[in-house]
């Protein structure tokens, strides 16, 4: 059974950092690109970052968000720095077959290009 589980969310003050984890099971992570999306209340789900199986990446804000993967641990990480209240959202990880190259699409990653989704982890940035 394919499963993605996010963890690492929580409450953080503006300017702080968090590292989110996406643990995969039931499939071979080597064959997939993993994306991070977020969705704030009343907003559409938006892509944040993606890493393919060759470690090529897409990131909306490379200064603040760093994506990495550990195929041995079947886990993808999103390190977030200098967090702002606007970063408050539920963060989701998702998997797409690597050969579809979702991270190379013009305009960024799209939810409809991903096949499997986790349940999300809440990130709240507030003082």
pLDDT in tens, 44-55: 999 999 999 999
Chain position carrying tokens 């940035």: 125
Number of continuous H segments (helices) and E segments (strands) in the chain: 0, 11
Provide the pLDDT for residue 106.
85
Q: Which residues contact 28 (CB under 8 A, 6 or more apart)?
A: none
Residue 42 has pLDDT above 90, yes or no: yes
CA distance 112 to 59: 18
């Amino acid at each position: 059974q394919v499963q993605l589980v996010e963890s690492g969310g929580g409450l953080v003050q503006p300017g702080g950092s968090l590292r989110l984890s996406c643990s995969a099971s039931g499939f071979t992570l080597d064959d997939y690109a993993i994306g991070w999306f977020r969705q704030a209340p009343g907003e559409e789900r938006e892509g944040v970052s993606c890493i393919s199986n060759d470690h090529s990446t897409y990131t909306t804000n490379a200064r603040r968000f760093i994506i990495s993967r550990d195929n041995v641990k079947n886990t993808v990480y999103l390190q977030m720095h200098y967090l702002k209240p606007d970063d408050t959202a539920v963060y989701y990880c998702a998997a797409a077959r690597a050969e579809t190259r979702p991270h190379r699409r013009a305009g960024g990653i799209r939810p409809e290009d991903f096949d499997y989704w986790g349940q999300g982890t809440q990130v709240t940035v507030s003082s």
